[in-house]
């Protein structure tokens, strides 16, 4: 096995990001779409921390904290929307939420 370099982390992060994107684009359940977005956030964090380690600079980790803050805000608002949606439409399927469409 070759020694682990930032490229390995980059590939891992890319794979996780891809999984997240596939989840967002193909699942019907809104909650699982939100969960997939968390995967994407995590992929970004892996990159930030790996580069923070590569350049021996702490800024990457600070940015990762901001990403986690954004993820928390997103989850709170998103789940609030899901609850409001379920109360009105009785469904969690993304393609059945079409009140704004003709």
Per CB under 8 A, contacts with other proteins among 17-76 are: 17-23, 25-29, 31-32, 34-36, 38-39, 42, 45-46, 49-50, 52-56, 58-59, 61-62, 64-66, 68-76
Binding flag, residue 89, other proteins (CB under 8 A): no
Instruction: Provide the 8-state DSSP code for 4.
Output: P
Q: How far apart are CA 9 and CA 3, in angstroms?
A: 12
Q: For 61-75, give the DSSP string.
A: HHHHHHHHHHHHHHH
> Least separation, in Å, of the C-beta of 26 and other proteins?
5
- Binding residue for other proteins, selected from 79, 89, 101, 102, defined by CB under 8 A: 79
Tokens of 11: 């590939």
Minimum distance from CB of 40 to other proteins (Å)? 10
Q: How far is the CB of 33 from other proteins (least distance, A)?
A: 9
- Total binding residues for other proteins by CB under 8 A? 73
Give the contacts of 50 (CB within 8 A, at least 6 positions apart).
6, 9, 10, 13, 60
């Amino acid at each position: 096995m070759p020694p682990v370099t930032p490229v390995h982390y980059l590939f891992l992060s890319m794979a996780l990001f891809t999984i997240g994107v596939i989840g967002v684009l193909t699942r019907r359940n809104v909650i699982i779409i939100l969960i997939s977005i968390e995967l994407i956030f995590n992929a970004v964090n892996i990159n930030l921390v790996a580069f923070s380690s590569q350049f021996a600079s702490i800024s990457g980790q600070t940015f990762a904290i901001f990403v986690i803050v954004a993820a928390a805000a997103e989850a709170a608002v998103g789940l609030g929307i899901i609850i409001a949606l379920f109360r009105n439409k009785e469904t969690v399927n993304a393609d059945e939420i079409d009140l704004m469409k003709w």
